[in-house]
C-alpha cells in the first residue's frame, strides 16, 4: 500500500486508532464489527486488527514497540455468544415445552382451559389470575401416580412467536400438539401448523377434538393426516393420536399422558446450575414499566441477576408466575414474567445472564450499532438476483411458498417443480395451498433464509402485502404456468456461482523496441485486431505465453491514452516485464462472469 503512513504506540485503543486515521470512533467500532470484534472506545485491539482497519481507509499504520508497556489485550469476537457445553453429569431432567396449534374454532382455547384446571397444584379455587402467554402445570405421572410431572405450555394466540422463534433459529418448543376437530377434519390452518412443526423438526401429538359432536369422524381425521405423512401409532406409525373432548373433558388425561410419554422418549435434560439462558415468549409495556415473559431453557434465573435480551438489558426486579405469585427462582423449562428490563424485546429473541450491568451495557451498545448496520442490508432475497452462497460442495436451498386458484393447479405446479433436478441447488416447497396469499404465508416464508412466495391466478391480502414489505419477503404473481416454472429455474440457477470465462478483445504485434533512459523497455506496436486498453494483458511468442500482467502505460505519439483501435500504432509498457522481441504478440483480455445453468 502506498498511502499515508501513521505511527502509534501500543496498547492501541479504539479512541487512539480513530484519532490517528481521522475517523469518528463509531466508524472504527463499525469496522471492527465487520471483522467480528466488539469493542468500546476505551478497549484495546491487537496490532494486526488495527492495521486492517487503517488499511481499509487507505492508511498504513506502523505500531512502534514500547519497552515495559502493558501487553495488548485481545478483544474476543462476539464474546456474548460463547455458550460452553454442559457436562453430561450436570444435566438433569426438565419439563417438556409444548405448543398447541391448529385451525381456528377447532377448540384450542377450550382445550387449554380444561388442561389449566387439571393442574393439581393450582386446585379449583386457584387457577390462573394473570395471562402471561405461557404456564406450567403439574399432573400425576401416568406410570407413577404418586409422582407429579410438570408440562410447560406456550399459548400465545395463534402462536405468532412460533414463526418468529424459528426465524431466529430458536427451536424452543419440544412438542407440538396439533388440534383437529373431529367434525371438520383437516383445514388450511391445520396444514399450516403441520408445516410449521415439520419445518422446525418438532415431534407432533395429534389431539382429535370434539369427539362428542354428532358429526364426529375421528377415523376420517386419521386418514387425512396419514395422507400427509402423520401415520397413527396404532396403524403402525410413530405419531400418537388421542381422541378428546374439551366440552366433556373426555380423553384430556390421556392427552397429558401422551405428552409425557413423548417427552420421556426425547429424554429432555438441562443444567440448572449455570448462568440462565432462554427465549422471550411475549413482551409489553405495563404501568410499572416494560415486562417480558421469558422461558428459561438452561440455568436458573433469580431476582437481582443481570440479563441481556436483544438490544435491552436490566437487573431482574421480580419473577412472577402464571398464577401471579412472586418466585425466588426459575429453572429450566419454567416460564416467568420478568420486571426490570429497560425495553420490551421481540418474541423469539434469546436472553442470557451476564456478570454485571457494565458488561450488559457494552453488549447492548454493540448490538444497537450492529442493528443500524444490518438495517442497510435487505433481510430476504429477491427471486431475480439470488446471491451465490455456495461454499465448496455445500448444497443451497431455494424455499418456496406456493398459492394457486385451484387444487389441480397446485398439484400440477408442485409436480413440475419437483421434476427440476440439480446437484448443487435443491428446491424446498415449505407450503402449498389454494386461496389468497395471507399473513401466515409471509410468516412461513420469512422464517428462514431465502423464502419467496409464488402465486398463480391468486391475489394478495392487503395485510399480507404490508407484512411482506416489512419482512423483506418477495411475492411473485403469475398467470402462465411455464413462466412460473422458468422463474424458479432461473432463481435456482442464480444460486450457483458464476463461471469465469476469458474474453480476448484485442491483439497487437511488437514492431520496434525503445529503451528508456531511466530503465525499462517500451514496445512499439501495431494493433492488429480489436482494441488495446489498460488492464490485463499477456505476451505470446510463437504461441507460447511468456508473461501475464498489467499494462502499465499506453501511449500514442507523446500522449497517454486509454484505448488504441485496430490499424493504429502505439507504445506499450508492462509492469515487471521488459524482455520484448520484435514479432511478439500482446493480447488484451478480461474475465467475464457467465451464469451457470442447471
Q: Residue 435 burial by CB count (10 A; 0-12/13-18/19+): exposed, middle or buried?
A: middle
Dist. CA 296–CA 473, nearest whole Å: 31
Q: How is residue 3 annotated by DSSP?
A: S
- Mean pLDDT, residues 122-135: 47
The three-state (H, E, C) secondary structure of 547-580, written as one string? EEEEEEEEEECCEECCEEECCCEEEEEECCECCC
Last residue of a domain, one of 475, 494, 513: 494
Across 158-162, 373-377, 580-584, which has the greatest mean pLDDT? 580-584
Q: Does residue 126 share a domain with residue 222? A: yes
Q: What is the pLDDT of residue 371?
A: 62
Neighbours of 431 (CB within 10 A): 23
Q: Does residue 247 share a domain with residue 124? A: yes
Please give the mean pLDDT across all residues of the chain.
Answer: 79
The answer to whether residue 383 is domain-embedded is no
pTM of the model as a whole? 0.52
The answer to whether residue 522 is domain-embedded is yes
The answer to whether residue 294 is domain-embedded is yes
- Pick from 429, 432, 409, 401: which is nearest to 417 by CA? 429
- The domain total for the chain is 5
Dist. CA 532–CA 570, nearest whole Å: 9
The answer to whether residue 244 is domain-embedded is yes
Q: Does residue 258 share a domain with residue 109? A: yes
- Mean pLDDT, residues 450-478: 86
Q: Does residue 443 share a domain with residue 334? A: no
Q: What is the pLDDT of residue 585?
A: 95
The answer to whether residue 387 is domain-embedded is no
Q: What is the pLDDT of residue 447?
A: 72
Q: What is the pLDDT of residue 386?
A: 42
Dist. CA 376–CA 471, nearest whole Å: 14
Q: Does residue 23 share a domain with residue 46? A: yes
Look at residue 144 and tell me whether its pLDDT is greater than 70. Answer: yes
Q: Does residue 8 share a domain with residue 51? A: yes
Q: Does residue 60 share a domain with residue 135? A: no
Dist. CA 546–CA 548, nearest whole Å: 7
Q: Is 438 helix (H, G, I), strand (E, B) or coil?
A: coil
Look at residue 78 and tell me whether its pLDDT is greater than 50. Answer: no
| Domain containing residue 548: CATH number | 2.40.30.10
Q: Does residue 129 share a domain with residue 249? A: yes
Which structural domain range is residue 334 located in?
A: 277-374
Dist. CA 436–CA 460, nearest whole Å: 6
Q: Cα 281 to the chain's mean position, in Å?
A: 19
| Domain containing residue 256: CATH number | 3.40.50.300
Residue with cell 381425521: 221
The answer to whether residue 381 is domain-embedded is no
Q: Which tens digits make up the pLDDT trace of 153-177?
A: 876 544 344 555 444 444 678 888 8
Q: Which tens digits make up the pLDDT trace of 523-575?
A: 999 999 999 998 899 999 988 889 988 898 999 988 899 999 999 999 999 98
CB 295 within 8 A of CB 99: no
Look at residue 222 and tell me whether its pLDDT is greater than 80. Answer: yes
Which is it for the CA torsion 312, 318, 319, 323, positive or negative? negative
Element holding 51 (H helix, E strand): helix 47-56
- Cell numbers found for residue 482: 411455464
Last residue of a domain, one of 79, 102, 123: 79
Q: Cα 211 to the chain's mean position, in Å?
A: 41
Q: How is residue 507 annotated by DSSP?
A: E
Last residue of a domain, one of 51, 79, 107: 79
Q: Does residue 231 share a domain with residue 102? A: yes
Q: Does residue 486 share a domain with residue 472? A: yes
Q: Does residue 508 share a domain with residue 452? A: no
Q: Does residue 28 share a domain with residue 12? A: yes
Q: What is the pLDDT of residue 73?
A: 35
The answer to whether residue 384 is domain-embedded is no
The answer to whether residue 388 is domain-embedded is no
Amino acid at each position: 500500500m502506498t498511502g499515508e503512513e501513521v505511527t502509534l504506540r501500543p496498547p492501541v485503543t479504539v479512541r487512539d486508532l480513530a484519532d490517528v486515521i481521522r475517523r469518528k470512533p463509531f466508524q472504527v467500532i463499525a469496522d471492527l464489527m465487520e471483522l467480528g470484534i466488539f469493542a468500546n472506545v476505551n478497549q484495546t485491539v491487537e496490532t494486526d486488527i488495527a492495521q486492517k482497519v487503517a488499511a481499509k481507509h487507505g492508511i498504513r499504520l506502523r505500531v512502534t514497540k514500547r519497552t515495559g508497556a502493558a501487553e495488548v489485550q485481545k478483544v474476543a469476537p462476539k464474546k456474548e455468544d460463547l455458550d460452553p457445553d454442559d457436562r453430561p453429569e450436570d444435566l438433569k431432567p426438565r419439563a417438556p415445552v409444548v405448543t398447541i396449534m391448529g385451525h381456528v374454532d377447532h377448540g384450542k382455547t377450550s382445550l387449554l382451559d380444561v388442561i389449566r384446571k387439571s393442574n393439581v397444584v393450582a386446585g379449583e379455587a386457584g387457577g390462573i389470575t394473570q395471562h402471561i402467554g405461557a404456564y406450567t402445570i403439574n399432573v400425576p405421572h401416568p406410570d407413577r401416580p404418586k409422582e407429579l410431572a410438570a408440562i410447560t405450555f406456550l399459548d400465545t394466540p395463534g402462536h405468532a412467536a412460533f414463526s418468529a422463534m424459528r426465524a431466529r433459529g430458536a427451536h424452543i418448543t419440544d412438542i407440538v400438539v396439533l388440534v383437529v376437530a373431529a367434525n371438520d377434519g383437516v383445514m388450511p390452518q391445520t396444514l399450516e401448523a403441520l408445516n410449521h412443526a415439520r419445518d422446525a423438526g418438532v415431534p407432533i401429538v395429534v389431539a382429535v377434538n370434539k369427539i362428542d359432536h354428532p358429526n364426529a369422524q375421528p377415523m376420517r381425521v386419521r386418514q387425512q393426516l396419514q395422507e400427509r405423512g402423520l401415520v397413527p401409532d396404532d396403524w403402525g406409525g410413530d405419531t400418537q393420536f388421542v381422541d378428546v373432548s374439551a366440552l366433556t373433558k373426555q380423553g384430556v388425561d390421556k392427552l397429558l399422558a401422551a405428552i409425557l410419554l413423548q417427552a420421556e422418549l426425547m429424554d429432555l435434560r438441562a443444567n440448572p446450575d449455570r448462568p440462565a439462558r432462554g427465549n422471550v415468549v411475549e413482551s409489553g409495556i405495563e404501568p410499572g414499566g416494560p415486562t417480558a415473559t421469558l422461558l428459561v431453557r438452561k440455568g436458573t434465573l433469580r431476582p437481582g441477576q443481570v440479563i441481556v435480551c436483544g438490544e435491552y438489558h436490566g437487573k431482574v426486579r421480580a419473577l412472577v408466575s402464571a398464577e401471579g405469585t412472586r418466585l425466588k427462582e426459575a429453572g429450566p423449562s419454567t416460564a416467568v414474567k420478568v420486571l426490570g428490563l429497560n425495553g420490551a424485546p421481540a418474541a423469539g429473541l434469546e436472553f442470557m445472564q451476564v456478570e454485571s450491568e457494565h458488561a450488559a451495557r457494552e453488549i447492548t451498545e454493540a448490538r444497537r450499532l450492529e442493528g443500524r448496520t444490518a438495517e442497510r442490508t435487505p433481510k430476504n432475497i429477491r427471486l431475480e438476483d439470488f446471491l451465490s452462497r455456495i461454499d465448496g460442495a455445500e448444497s443451497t436451498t431455494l424455499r418456496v411458498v406456493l398459492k394457486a386458484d385451484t387444487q389441480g393447479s397446485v398439484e400440477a405446479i408442485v409436480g413440475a417443480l419437483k421434476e427440476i433436478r440439480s446437484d448443487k441447488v435443491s428446491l424446498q416447497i415449505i407450503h402449498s395451498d389454494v386461496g389468497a396469499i395471507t399473513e401466515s404465508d409471509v410468516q412461513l416464508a420469512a422464517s428462514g433464509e431465502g423464502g419467496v412466495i409464488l402465486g398463480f391466478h391468486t391475489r394478495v391480502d392487503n395485510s399480507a402485502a404490508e407484512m411482506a414489505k416489512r419482512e423483506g419477503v418477495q411475492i411473485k404473481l403469475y398467470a402462465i404456468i411455464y413462466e412460473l416454472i422458468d422463474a424458479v429455474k432461473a432463481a435456482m440457477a442464480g444460486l450457483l456461482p458464476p463461471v469465469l470465462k476469458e474474453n480476448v478483445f484485442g491483439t497487437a504485434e511488437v514492431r520496434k523496441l525503445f529503451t528508456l533512459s531511466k530503465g525499462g523497455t517500451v514496445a512499439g506496436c501495431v494493433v492488429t485486431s480489436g482494441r488495446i486498453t489498460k488492464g490485463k494483458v499477456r505476451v505470446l511468442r510463437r504461441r507460447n505465453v511468456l508473461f501475464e500482467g498489467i499494462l502499465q502505460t499506453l501511449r500514442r505519439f507523446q500522449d497517454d491514452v486509454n484505448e488504441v483501435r485496430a490499424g493504429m500504432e502505439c507504445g506499450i509498457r508492462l509492469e515487471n516485464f521488459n524482455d520484448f522481441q520484435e514479432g511478439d504478440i500482446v493480447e488484451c483480455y478480461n474475465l467475464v462472469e457467465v451464469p451457470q445453468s442447471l
